Structure 1
Amino acid sequence: MECYLVGGYVRDTLLGYPAKDKDWVVIGSTPKAMVKKGFRPVGKDFPVFLHPDTQEEYALARTERKHGHGYQGFTCYSSPDVTLEQDLARRDLTINAIAQTPTGDLIDPFNGQDDLRHKILRHVSPAFIEDPVRVLRLARFAAKFGFSIAEETHDLIQTMITNGELTYLVPERIWQELIRALQTRHPSQFFTSLRQLNALAILFPEIDDLFGVPQPAQWHPEIDTGIHVMLVLDQAAKLSTDPHVLFAALCHDLGKATTPADILPQHIGHEQRGVTITRQLCKRLNVPRAMSTLALKTAQYHTHVHRAFELKPKTILAVLLALDAFRKPQQFEHFLLACEADCRGRPGYETAAYPNKSYFQRCLNACRAIDIKPILQQGKKGKAIAEALNMARIHAIRTVPHKVDR
């Protein structure tokens, strides 16, 4: 029995990245022999075991054969006669097909180290075409590492698109890869890579539709709405690693894709149109409720925060209530971060101050500081209590200064 480290652990170690989970491939063994050595079987679709002491994953070497469409259309073959090179050959990219012996020696039959040095993402074999999830993974690695895609890999993906392979991706896998991509250092590269591959319109048509839509140059030097949303996404990644914030930032301007041509480059009413499109996107991808709620609220109310100092106290309170800020302060903070990213997602505004955020925070704090006891002592009941409390909140907001002296 021979054991080798494989996959992301080896790749990240070679890149100098923090490497977390160790994955091992086992050559020359059987499930029965693994159990006899104390390994615990955990694999559902193929033989994977947990080490009795380290709890690290050990998978028996295997090959895969395509028998249907999509990422589930595979038959796995695992046997003691499957070689290490055969196991590595089934992997997606050369940078993920490097093995390491327990003593540190590298086995690299597909020249993955060269591609790491040259920052290139390249498929291992034509079998790449058999799993559509690999297109999403490829774009995610481009966002994570800042690597470029090999020309031959680009061409292979065009064949996948022509064959309709991407249409077999299920929403759960698309969402899973999207969330992981949003938490990379440059999430915009996930989408720009998919666009370069002609896959964005298939997988995320709502995002693809934004490219080429003009905005007023006075407020958006970048002009193109698609470029703006990509800039916003990268700014959001600098402000937070929370996927709630990043997904909200991604969805905030979806309504601009359907702005009537006769009013361009203005986008009057894009907020409400964005709510409709965001709701459709969330439904299609089965987005978790908390994330879809924040995305919908951000689409509808982000321009209110941008106009914070023009709003009446009554309107500010309406925004606080709509965001459920009193009961869900973290959701409100996530919303404000997405708004700040929107402001900074423009050339020349990357480090701009955004006092609108702190103003809304101070308005919320002023409202929360209200003592409700005097209202209750007036003998009011039901709606009358809520009305009196909101009147007190409006008065409190009115006293909040636009600027704070430092």
Structure 2
Amino acid sequence: MIPYGKQQLDSDDIAAVTAVLQSAWLTQGPQVPAFEQAISVLCGAKHAVAVNSATSALHIACLALDVGPGDLVWTSAISFVASANCALYCGATVDFVDIELNTGNMCVNALEAKLLIAKKTNTLPKVVIPVHFAGQPCNMAKIAQLAAEYGFKVIEDASHAIGAQYQGKAVGSCHYADICIFSFHPVKIITSGEGGMALTNQSDVARKMQLLRSHGITSETTEFNEESHGPWYYQQQLLGFNYRMTDLQAALGLSQSHKLSQFVTKRNKLAQQYQKLLAPFNRIMPLQVQADCYSSYHLFVVRLTGLSKTHHKACIEHLRGKDIIGHLHYIPIYLHPFYQQQGFQPGYCEQAERYYQQAVTLPLYPGLTLKQQSHIVQVLTDFLSNDL
């Protein structure tokens, strides 16, 4: 069986976790700040806040930017549901922006058109969450320009994109955003088992996220609103959550972070090999990477043109029947039953729905071999040849 994604662990990773198991710390020890420091240095951001998942990171990021009831948050129509759910957790309302068909990323022209209408109707978003789909950064320069013009904050959902670059800067630098979010789920670029991180250059935002991840509690005497009762004393100052990352997770993530460049380089080489193998087949269109971007290639997604809905489904079933886990990232968020109950209907984002009828995710992870890639492409192209 060839999965669509898979973690790659080695003896160094195992040794790092074993060392924590043999130490005095399992939860809140030295590995968590060490992991945060490593990622902030890699990305060039001033602050990093580790949590137990990227979903948790998105949630506290919204709260740190004061998202709440009555606020509007916009995100991409094509993403995992967490990109939208995080705003609902805060009591805000969510809306969706259509995508570019050739990249899968938020379409800045669609965003600008939607903002023009929203300004006239006094329904501008408080926060926009662009998603760096499959590992390729969005057009962040244009999004930042629009943010300045229309007064919204920006949270980059870079769950797919640690190790990617935009205009020569590491994703996570927050050069064009208030906060950037990473995921360390096992199928992502590097893993901590489960885990996520929020990066920012704003010290007040970072401190608020630190409080929110741990019940809103502080033991810092300088932050108390009264004199300390004694060395045991702490204060809950916000309604926070138990979103902390453990030292076990952080040790694994820290060990994996040393191999980030190696993993991303291998993913790019595999993507180039796919593109070479698929080049003769004009019905198969890999998502494009823009000239000012370096993708981390969390996913390798192709669009299959000229297939009916039935044959699109049959193609993925055919791959799976040959022990190749073809997948589809993602269903347009607003087509899920929960969001249709909020009033969204099919047809809301035309390009997102067109993408959904064409997209197939092919396996991609550092351990994938060239022989396996050739087999995947052969199985796919055989199906399409028979479908003609």
Both proteins in one fold, TM over 0.5: no
More strand by share: 2
Q: TM-score range by the shorter chain?
A: under 0.3
Give the alignment's TM-score, normalised by structure 2.
Answer: 0.26
Larger radius of gyration: 1
More helix by share: 1
